[in-house]
Structure 1
């Protein structure tokens, strides 16, 4: 068996369905960053542990969680509140940890948007480290999100999990990505000033994860990024095959890229801006 951590902040819309999907495990731990909605009230209705910790960053929150909250099992799985565990994925996780060949395993997400699985526009499969030995992994910060640091080798699961990326409504998505774009802009400036393109990883990365990260660093230097991203996602990846939802998704991603570019300009040309105040 393995433990399941669920990370939350104002997740009253998603938390019940997320917990119910996770109760396949006998050890479910909700880690909340002081929600001010009904998240805790709803979570407490279920046979789970609820722990609150002030949010500093995605990487620090995960690392604190792994190091400070005792789990019943050596192996753990991380769920976001807008994701779901599935019976098939749970069974594969159980089978995998019986005779593990790696210390961690990536699982691919199925992005659910406007009632559809956005398969083509999202560069499926997109992998996240989800199942791992909790003593062999910690997390650092990268842009608006986190990046795992693993002491050992990693593998890949075949089963996937659904990710309801706009379950809280379009306004919440826009607000969240407006915040994310600030952190992404800070990281972009850092990468442009100090980073370099890892050409070997672009072409010969050992895994899809390595190649994707190298391509992201390359894309930071590409002119007309928002337009290029839309064309790449909609035409080259086949986003048009996702129908109306695919067009909307590709447009939102191009808009997000444009927000990042505007904030990069702000950081470099307006030293007194709020974005500059958050730089490191």
Structure 2
């Protein structure tokens, strides 16, 4: 089977626990795999290189573009299509087959700007089959997509990475059916560590409505609807656990619905506390 005309970009920092699995999942399927590493202090770079990935160092200068847009601008610019994977993500076999059907005909032009891909989400060691559905604009044509430059450089919580919004697509966007598997092997406390930082950023946005509005238009339709919802912790729990039947995932479904509700509660509490400096 011929390789897909895609470069996989994997932004990393200290992903030694996950990176081997991620690189192995794509190295035989795509033209190039590039790990863009932010000065990891573990063996991320060494392990990725041993699996055949190109490793590129990245140092953020505190301005735009941030890390993902930098990848679009600089990582194997000779390959128009770029797939972002986190250091703990792997494409499912069904997704690889779907991509081969789309890109597998030599000379065929794929006349869309981007593909939205659902995540197969793992939480506390279990694959969730129900509950809150996450969709990422992960595969894009670099000439037809760009991450917006927002007024959030003084916001805490995100740093070098773009926030929780999608790249803007200049053209049609197609949603694929097969998932990227998001299986983090780190302990669950790291999930709470990350979301504590993310809630700092979200709370900052509540005190900067002009930036919040810029971000709203770059979110998914689901994100835009939730953006307007009152009583977000309760709505989040009811949506994930009841409406989307998270209860069918047993204890893991309850834990995840509670964790997301707690995240929304954190945002509200930090918002009421007042704006925080970056």
TM-score relative to the length of structure 1: 0.82
The answer to whether 1:27 aligns with 2:32 is yes
> Which range moves more in the overlay, 84-93 or 34-43?
84-93
Of residues 108, 112, 115, the one that matches 2:118 is 108
Show the counterpart of 2:155: none
- Cα 1:192–1:64 change in 2 (3 A) is closer
Of residues 169, 172, 179, the one that matches 1:160 is 179
- Cα 1:156–1:229 change in 2 (3 A) is closer
Distance apart, 1:155 and its partner CA: 0.9
- Cα 1:251–1:42 change in 2 (3 A) is same
Of residues 87, 92, 96, the one that matches 1:90 is 96
The answer to whether 1:218 aligns with 2:228 is yes
Gaps of 5+ in 2: 153-157
Considering fraction of residues, name the structure with more helix.
1
Deviations 1:69-121 (A, max 9, x none): 22452212111111102333123223323442312111111101233321222
Task: Tell me, yes or no, if the aligned pair for 1:111 and 1:163 is still in contact at 8 Å.
Answer: yes
Distance apart, 1:215 and its partner CA: 0.9
TM-score relative to the length of structure 2: 0.82
> Which range moves more in the overlay, 74-83 or 138-147?
138-147
Task: Tell me, yes or no, if the aligned pair for 1:191 and 1:217 is still in contact at 8 Å.
Answer: no
Distance apart, 1:5 and its partner CA: 0.8
Structure scoring higher RCO (CA < 8 A, sep ≥ 6) equals 2
Could you tell me how far apart the structure 2 residues matched to 1:72 and 1:14 are? Answer: 28
Task: Tell me, yes or no, if the aligned pair for 1:7 and 1:80 is still in contact at 8 Å.
Answer: yes
Show the counterpart of 1:271: none
Could you tell me how far apart the structure 2 residues matched to 1:41 and 1:57 are? Answer: 28
The answer to whether 1:14 aligns with 2:14 is no
- Cα 1:264–1:210 change in 2 (3 A) is same
CA RMSD of aligned residues (A): 2.6
The size of the alignment, in residue pairs, is 255
Gaps of 5+ in 1: 202-208, 269-274
Task: Tell me, yes or no, if the aligned pair for 2:199 and 2:266 is still in contact at 8 Å.
Answer: yes
Of residues 125, 133, 137, the one that matches 2:141 is 133
> Which range moves more in the overlay, 167-176 or 229-238?
229-238
Could you tell me how far apart the structure 1 residues matched to 2:46 and 2:211 are? Answer: 46
* SS in structure 2 at match of 1:147: coil
- Cα 1:46–1:210 change in 2 (3 A) is closer
